[in-house]
A and B are shown apart, each in its own frame.
Chain A
Amino acid sequence: MPNNLTIRVGGDTGTTTGVISTGEMLTFAMARSQYDVFTFRTNPAESKGGQAMYQVRMGNHPVLSQGTFLDILIAYDEECLKTHAKDLKSDGLLIYDTDTFVPDDSYQEQSYGVPLSTVAQTVSGTKKSKNLVALGVVTEILGLPLESVKTVVKEQFRHKPEKVVEGNIKSLESGRAWALKNNILKDFHVRPRELKTSKVVMSGNEAMAAGAVYSGCRYYAGYPITPASEILEFLQKELPKFDGVAIQTEDEIAAITSCIGASFAGVKAMTATSGPGFSLMLEALGLSSMTEIPIVIVDCQRGGPSTGLPTKTEQSDLMQAIFGGHGEAPRVVMAPANVKDCFFGIIKAFNIAEKYQIPVLFLSDQSLSQRTQTYTRPKLTNIEVWNRLKASGSHANGDYLRYQMTDTGVSPIAVPGESPSPYVATGLEHNEHGDPNYTPANHFRMTVKRHKKLENIAKESGFTRRFGDEQAKVGILSWGSTEGPIEEAIHKANQSGYEVAALQVKMLHPLPDEEIKHFLKSVQHVIVPELNFTGQLSQIIRSKYLIPTIRLNKCAGMPFTPEEILNKIEEVIIKN
């Protein structure tokens, strides 16, 4: 009995309905049976047609990465098999649709041909439900209880007519029966699990949206873009329940400027986008920084410049997040490492934005935003929420100093409708009162004031996670969604007798200086793995700490596999 299994489903969405939903239902069925899950998907960029794939890794322990090699591959067509065959383990299992193709002899040993379309047609009257037949076959092989799979199917199709649901259930059952009747080649039952804590299964995007709601975000504006749209959709559904507003704007510039307007009016506001939209937001990012109106911007990074690879993952917006835009506009850049971090991290993003009256960028990426992952249901009683420091007293005579000089660079803010201290926020350089002022001394003074906040933010705690071996000579410094494969690689390295230390940096600007210095001192070699071509964090670490870093870059639209990290670790250890 294995401890964990990796299963991939793939096919052309033009000819097979429900490639992705097969995977989704499989995931929820596993989660219902208490297994931890970690999914990875690529949709075709077009809305109809093109190869899609969905991968789920399940385990009876926390799963850290999407996995590299497949235990089971469900191929709806030959193209899918051609693409993914190389990833199937030598003792892995291929399930394919005999109604569409027959693979060559090399798969005879461990393949399972099922007439998916014929079975579906016979029991439900439509070939469309062939993905339910496939789901039946695979859940029988895994030994997942039929009843819990049925519940998932009913949930998935709750908005469909009863007849469709019935047909789907029949298809599911006939898939299970088919697998039972034919001999199962190998035992793929995963060891069962007894859990004491309650778990949630959600995507990175859902976790960020949930965290925003928890933080008190009551205004959301966004423009649809892959892979961020689910945040808009989720908040349009949820915020009305919380007396909040979520709107789809005409573009990203409208999204961010309306968020700034909402926050000026005293309401916590957020927008989410991906690279192309983020580029459009840069002018207004400076406005938020200059007027000291807090907002949170989520960037679900995708691949490449321009329209690039909309459905693929990359970590290539870091430089733009830290330096993008004209002038020198202080902002904070954070990055979550996993789905749980999406929830807890965005609460910190709001807290820092509010406390320091500054824009905070939260960099997710496609693989994290759209993956589903299990984590312990958060206890909501002791997560802190911070709010902006409000101006007190009445200054109706106009003597309120909105941008008053303070030790921290943070000045109490007046809120329209609340404080009788009206002021004008302007993107022009201004004096303490907020009036436009371009004198040399004033520009310098105000620039210092705005930048001062960064010094204190760098000292805020909880923005690094150290793991691996304390005494190791080789260290890995990383950011964002690469944490999981790194942690798994370190486990593997340990098994081969190698020691490796790791530091996950969750705030990229300003850098948590103390922790990073401490880490860099403790190791002799630092590997910086990044899903980009130019090594953006590596460049920053080099220029700030004047140390050589060892880059590990992957620019392929795909996440790291633990093996890729492990290979680099071995290379560095052997060389030195």
Chain B
Amino acid sequence: MPQTNVHVQNVNEIKSNVVPVWCPGCGDYGVLAAIYRACVIMDLDLKSTVIVSGIGCSGRLPIFTKCYGFHGVHGRVLPTATGVKLANPKLTVIAVGGDGDGLAIGGGHFPHAARRNVDITYIMMDNSVYGLTKGQGSPTTAPEFTLKALPYGVQEENLNPVALSLAYDVSYVARVFSGAIDQMTDLFVKAIQHKGFSFVHAISPCTAFNDTYKFYRERVVPIPAEHDVHNKKSALDLWQTKGKVYLGTFYEDNRLDMGTTFQKLSETVQSKGKGTMERLFDQFT
């Protein structure tokens, strides 16, 4: 059966008929726009592009595209995307979800996605608040943020997604901001092109419950051009710089991804003979 690919010329063709339900000004519009653009720039075949998402305002994203999408359960975006990619390595797989989804309920999956290094791109849409459930503190809510639902602020310290991903040894780490869509698009393209698990920390303010646009606009700076993306130590220094929030690629390495290691494993095992049911049963006679 001949298979038609689905390519598009401009972003309007990727938009689905479902109108986004996000609040005006929500940072997630920026992430969605950059994903549309990245698809066009990379000329992705929508038939072979899957966007997997978690639960939250951010989790709605695939519904607004004409790509294949999977909107699963809260916190499980990474294992779901892992299954999609390992089952069919030809697909381009993008995982998106909130900071609560990825660092609270689903926090246990992140290090394992890193150590498997499956060739998927994970965009964490970080608004430092629980958007969908209306304003509770999230793992990235900094003590200095005041939230409607939290008159006394949070008592815990906030997690830093970039620091975590560097510590977990994710093979591609970048940070972007919904206030800088061009750069966001460029880095999405880079992340998707990266062969292995790529992580993009997308600062995506919630205008309804934690409007941090001003906070970040005052602090974001591009990562200096002289930064060596293969130097983990220098990447760690960047995230620790006080008063600045760096945008750009922090780290990158080119170790083998799990799909490739599985393929090699299969080849090695099959050099002694391909599997057949008869051979399988011979072990039990």
Q: Chain A residues in contact with chain B, CB under 8 A?
A: 198-202, 206, 210, 213-214, 218-219, 221, 238, 240-243, 245, 247, 249-251, 253-255, 257-267, 269, 283-284, 287, 291, 377-378, 380, 394, 396, 398, 414, 416-428, 435-436
Contact = CB atoms under 8 A, between A and B. Distances in A.
A422 B47 contact: yes
Contacts of A259: 83
Nearest to B258: A247
The secondary-structure label for the interface of chain A is mixed
A168 to B, nearest CB: 21
Contacts of B82: 247, 254, 258, 261
A253 B274 CA distance: 32
A221 B17 CA distance: 35
Given A218-B87, A245-B86, A416-B47, A423 B69 contact: yes
Contact of B87 (A198, A213, A266, A420): A266
Nearest to B8: A396
A261 B52 contact: yes
8 contacts: A210-B281, A221-B79, A241-B270, A247-B82, A254-B109, A254-B112, A264-B70, A416-B49
B71 interface: yes
B84 interface: yes
A257 B4 contact: no
Interface stretch (B140-148, B177-185, B232-240, B261-269): B261-269
Contact of A422 (B18, B66, B285): B66
B68 A423 contact: yes
Interface string B61-92: 01101111111110010111111111110110
Interface of B: 3-6, 16-18, 46-50, 52, 55, 62-63, 65-73, 76, 78-88, 90-91, 108-109, 112, 116, 262, 265-266, 269-270, 273-275, 277-281, 284-285
Contacts of A424: 16, 62-63, 65, 68-71
B76 A267 contact: no
Contacts of B63: 424, 426, 435-436
B277 A380 contact: yes
Contacts of A249: 79, 112
Contacts of A423: 68-69
Given A245-B87, A261-B82, A424-B62, 13 more contacts: A219-B83, A241-B270, A247-B116, A250-B79, A255-B79, A262-B86, A266-B87, A266-B88, A396-B66, A417-B88, A426-B63, A426-B70, A435-B17
Contacts of B50: 264-265, 416
Nearest to B60: A436
A420 B265 contact: no
B46 to A, nearest CB: 6
B41 to A, nearest CB: 19
Nearest to A247: B86
Contacts of B279: 241
B32 to A, nearest CB: 14
Contact of B83 (A221, A287, A416, A422): A221
Contact of B80 (A257, A266, A417, A419): A257
A232 B152 CA distance: 48
Given A266-B87, A396-B47, A435-B63, A254 B69 contact: no
Given A200-B281, A258-B80, A262-B86, A419 B47 contact: yes
B83 to A, nearest CB: 3
Which of A242, A254, A398 neighbours the largest number of chain B CB atoms within 10 Å of its CB? A254
A262 B87 contact: yes
Contacts of B80: 257-258, 260-261
Given A238-B275, A247-B86, A261-B87, A200 B284 contact: yes
B256 to A, nearest CB: 15
Contact of B262 (A213, A242, A245): A245
Which of A206, A247, A263 neighbours the largest number of chain B CB atoms within 10 Å of its CB? A247
Contact of A287 (B66, B72, B87, B262): B72
